Amino acid sequence: MSERPVDPIAIDVGDLLQKTVASLHSHLVTRPTGRAVRMAIEARLGETGEMSLSLIDLSEVTVLDFSCADEVVAKLVQRSQGPGGSGTFFVFRGVREPHRDQIEVVLSRQGLAAVAQTDEGRFELLGATTPAEAATWRVLEDRGLLAGEDVTEALPGRDGRDALERLVHRHLAFQSPITGRWHALSRLVSHLL
């Protein structure tokens, strides 16, 4: 892909955890620890422009409890997707089986969703989505990019186009303000993986 409408930044949570709470362990297991890590991430994001794409790397986090999944993942996503939300898009990398349930539960409980790369290298939607959103996201994920003329063929019917608009609104897909093309977030962070 030659067009990169937004430059992503990578944030290593394991590294942040060691610097923020001076821990020798990569365990996110208390709400204050999660809050400290989230605040460090937000400080990094404050240095970026109005619109940003962040690859939040959880690969080095060995233990993630529900309170930290809420503090780090859900609160970051909530602030980007909520009313007056930031222009930040997130991809969570290195989501392993011990993390998955906690992230899925806290996102679903709050009606949120996020793009995650699992330890198998696959990208998935975690959290609360409609069947139309999940199907539309999968089409975009498989193709990587949709131009205006591709939408009718790839997403026949009004439901798919409406779902694509909701995915952009929820920051689960990116629409370039320059070209109008829709991008899978996984493709926009691919050079950081």
Q: Is residue 122 part of a domain?
A: yes
Indicate the average pLDDT of the chain: 88
Given a contact cutoff of 8 angstroms between Cβ atoms, the answer to whether 74 and 41 are in contact is no
Q: Is residue 101 part of a domain?
A: yes
Cα–Cα distance, 188 to 192 (Å, whole number): 9
Q: Is residue 1 part of a domain?
A: no
Q: Is residue 16 part of a domain?
A: yes
- Going across the sheet that includes 145-146, the strands are 145-146, 182-183, 174-175
The whole domain housing 16 covers: 8-192
Q: Which tens digits make up the pLDDT trace of 181-191?
A: 999 999 999 88
CATH of the domain at 155: 1.10.10.10
Please report, in tens digits, the pLDDT of each residue of the chain (193 residues total): 445 567 788 999 988 877 766 554 567 778 888 898 999 999 988 888 778 899 999 998 888 999 999 999 999 999 887 666 678 999 999 999 888 999 999 999 999 999 999 878 899 999 999 999 999 999 999 999 999 888 989 998 889 999 999 999 999 999 998 899 999 999 999 888 7
Q: Is residue 149 part of a domain?
A: yes
Q: Which tens digits make up the pLDDT trace of 110-122?
A: 999 999 998 788 9
> How many structural domains are present in the chain?
1
Q: Is residue 126 part of a domain?
A: yes
SS3 (DSSP) at 15: helix
Q: Is residue 30 part of a domain?
A: yes
Provide the token pair at 112.
């949120």
